Structure formats: structure tokens, C-alpha cells
Amino acid sequence: MKSIVLFTISFLFMNFIHGQTSLGFVKGDIINKKGDTIKCYIELLTSYEDAVRYKIDENGAAKNISIKKIKGMITPFRYYENITVNKKELLMVQIAEGKLGLFKYIKLKESMNLGGGAIRAESSKKVIYVIEKNEVFYTIDENNFNEQVSKLLTDCKSIDEKLAKGVYKFSDLESIIEEYNSCN
């Protein structure tokens, strides 16, 4: 009986967590690495780990396509691009475009411990940013954020000065890129 209760609680908890990240299916395009476009309904998630679920017809059966086969993805809300970060392909959402492009990936970490009759649940996230400059991608690490961004943005004095004074933090990266893209 105890194992049935633990299984039920575990099942409900995992469904609850995953249900929070799914936002349903929306009309969009998946561009594969061959350049072909699949016009379909794409399941919107906070992030995509290994595959994207999609449907050809709104009421059709869902299929999966591996991230490794996707070049890009377009929804009414966002553009996603497949970018390699630390030898792993990530489907990253484009946050900014202009002189610099900014891409973001949210890695969700979930765990659950069913030991001794107690349930421990953890849920956290790690944000990964990539800056595109002159068609080259740079992964921005939170620990070396200031140094990495300074090297890429030296041609905008106002941002360079703020970075030197420590005004900006890693969490400001989106507004830094926005400011840079409108810098003269």
C-alpha cells in the first residue's frame, strides 16, 4: 500500500512540474538542417531538452523531432536557433537582434527524493546566454561575465564604462545588448 501511495504522489508531482512548463501547441515552422520547413503546430515549452513535440494538424497525433535535426524554429512569439554550447546542441530562443544577437536557454533542474516516507522536491533553473557577433557565437559564463562582455562591446563607450565600474550584472545582459544595439 505504501508503495502505491508513493508511486501516486511521485506521478502527480512529476505531472504537475511538467504541466507547468507546457503552454500548449501553436502554429509554427520547424526548419531542419537540410533547409526544409515543416509547417505544423509546435508544443511551447520553457525549454527543449532533446526533442520538440509537434503536430502536422491541430487535432493530429503528436510527433517528436530531435533537436539534432533542427536548424531553427519559428512560432508567433519567438525564433529559436540550434546553437552548440559546450559540445551540446541547444534550441535557444532569440532575445535580441541587431549588431549583436542574444540567445537564451533556460535549463530546468528538477529532483525528487522519496525516502523514509518524506518527499523532498527541488526545482531550479540555470540561464545560459549566447551572444552572436559577426556570425560567431560566444557563450557568456556568469563567473566571467564582465570580462567576456567587455571584450565584445568595446566599441560602445557608455557600456564599456559601466562594465568597468561594475554597474552591470549577469542578470542585466538582455538590457546591455539592447543598449548596445542602439549605441552609435
Phi, psi of 2 (to 5 degrees): -60, -40
pLDDT at residue 123 is higher than 90: no
Tell me the CB-side half-sphere exposure of residue 146, using CA atoms within 13 A.
9
Question: Domain span at residue 128?
Answer: 2-140
The reply to whether 78 falls in a domain is yes
184 assigned to some structural domain: no
pLDDT at 184: 75
pTM comes to 0.79
pLDDT confidence of residue 121: 53
Model confidence at 54: pLDDT above 90 = yes
Residue 48 lies in a domain: yes
Number of domains within the chain: 1
